[in-house]
Chain A
Amino acid sequence: MTSLGRAQAWLIGALAWVSGAIVAITCLLVIVDVAAYAAGAGSIGWTADVAAYGLLYATMFAAPWLVREKGHVTLESFRRMLPPGPQRALEVLVCLLSLLACLALSWGGIALIVDSIDRGAIDFRVLAIPRWLLYLPLPVGFLLMAVEFGRVLAGRGSLYGGGSEGI
């Protein structure tokens, strides 16, 4: 494995842990919030904001790791009826389409972030949050996924054979 490959593996693994940490922190925050106002000590107020953003960050940060871990749901019944040659050909096609879509979405995401910073757009919830923070995890996740699909395309690893295989 090249050092660049190791860096990618480390990065997606670390982001997956960040994703887990976000779930744990959300949980803690909700408990503290509910306990605080049940005890008459007021309310944090912005818990729902953090929970909503947390959901998006946790999802996008877990997604590249799930590609590596073969953790995404895939239908394999049709694929498995084919001989190995066409199977590999289809896998290449799938990776290629996925790679293109991920790149397009990353591009859209980066354009969104740049545009939101330019406009100074704000996401008004209980907190007033700079809007680019809402969009930030999307290109991060999609770019890292693009790299993962690129890896499979280059013959390093496969999309299939994870927990979701079989007819």
Chain B
Amino acid sequence: EEKVLKVVTGTPVSLVWNQPLKDFIAAVNERGKGVVQVELVGGPEAVPVPEQFRALSSGLVDMHFGPNQYFQGDIPASQAFNASNRSAMDLRADGAWDVINGYYEPQGNIHYLGYFGSGYEFILLLREPPPEGGAFGRDFSGLRLRGTGTYAPLYDALGVTLRDIQVAEVHTALERGAIDGLGWVTLAATDLGFDDFIKARILPTFWQGDLGMAINLDSWNALPQEARTILNEEAAKAEAKAHAFFQDLAAKEAAAFAAAGTQTIELPGDGAAAFLDTAYASRWDEILQRMGEDDGGALRDLFYRP
């Protein structure tokens, strides 16, 4: 008997983030005829973002695609993806999903299937180039940057004031100068029109995307072996495809920024190293604090290679 799995996505369906999901669904539905099918129910309009974890965990939906940050309140280990600097392919080859499932399954009743965010990173986008100087080669102190709670420790270390402004208000805030810039990903800023106001992109990039695919553990256990094999193999293929897809998009984004006259500012060697140390430490300190030195440390060794 054919199993139909309902999937909800964490971002509006039309956005680029969902391309890997759409590819995955097409591949599974083609290969899985008569065995397993995946049906996209919708995005945040169907299940609001803060409650998507609950819907997946309780089995109201079978699968979830989207930022694993949504799970961080319940599963500390879900923060490892954002704090990683290794590709999905390398992580899979090292058996990282088994380690992750050691937390996802007991803590969230969720089975982790695949990681689709390693092709893009995070970046600081500013309205003006920051002055030279300081431990990072450029002085960020006193800037007001948009960010979420994730950025708080990093911004603290940089001397930046965190402004928690909603995405829909960022355009106006940039236009009016209510913020001096924002922490963002290496994609989709030009889609949102930020390039009209951003004059400086700061390199190196840091952290990386945390789009993931997960399935409710009961739904997973109820699947026949054949269906599980199809999902696993197609997830692996989709991971590699997504990595290339997002890398390509990030390159296009950088080109679009260059075309709009945005400067790329590279922090000098020592400054860049200090910046990256600070950025990654800000995430891993939190993970270690929540998971303990042993579990958190093991996770860090697997996900982060300085």
- Which residues of A come within 8 Å of B, CB atoms? 37, 40, 42-43, 45-49, 119, 121-128, 131
Contacts and interface: CB of A to CB of B under 8 A. Distances in A.
Contact of A128 (B144, B149, B162, B165): B149
Please tell me the size bucket of the interface on B. 10 to 19
29 contacts: A37-B144, A37-B161, A37-B163, A40-B142, A42-B161, A43-B144, A43-B161, A43-B162, A45-B152, A45-B161, A45-B162, A45-B164, A47-B164, A48-B165, A49-B164, A119-B74, A119-B107, A121-B73, A122-B72, A122-B73, A123-B50, A124-B72, A124-B150, A125-B149, A125-B164, A126-B148, A126-B162, A128-B149, A131-B73
Given A125-B148, A126-B152, 12 more contacts: A37-B161, A43-B163, A45-B162, A47-B164, A48-B165, A49-B164, A121-B73, A121-B74, A123-B50, A123-B73, A125-B164, A126-B164
Contacts of A122: 72-74
Contacts of B144: 37, 43
A48 B173 CA distance: 15
Interface string B8-43: 000000000000000000000000000000000000
Contacts of A48: 164-165
Interface of B: 50, 69, 72-74, 107, 142, 144, 148-150, 152, 161-165
A122 B144 CA distance: 27
Nearest to A115: B54
A46 B148 CA distance: 10
Contacts of A124: 69, 72-73, 149-150
Contacts of B74: 119, 121-122
B161 A127 contact: no
B164 A127 contact: no
Contacts of B148: 125-126
Nearest to B69: A124
A45 B161 CA distance: 8
Nearest to A42: B161
Contacts of A45: 152, 161-162, 164
- Residue in B50, B69, B73, B161 with the greatest tally of chain A CB atoms within 10 Å: B73
Contacts of A126: 148-149, 152, 162, 164
B108 to A, nearest CB: 9
Q: Which 9 A-B pairs have the closest CB atoms?
A: A122-B73, A48-B164, A126-B149, A43-B161, A121-B74, A45-B162, A125-B149, A121-B73, A124-B149
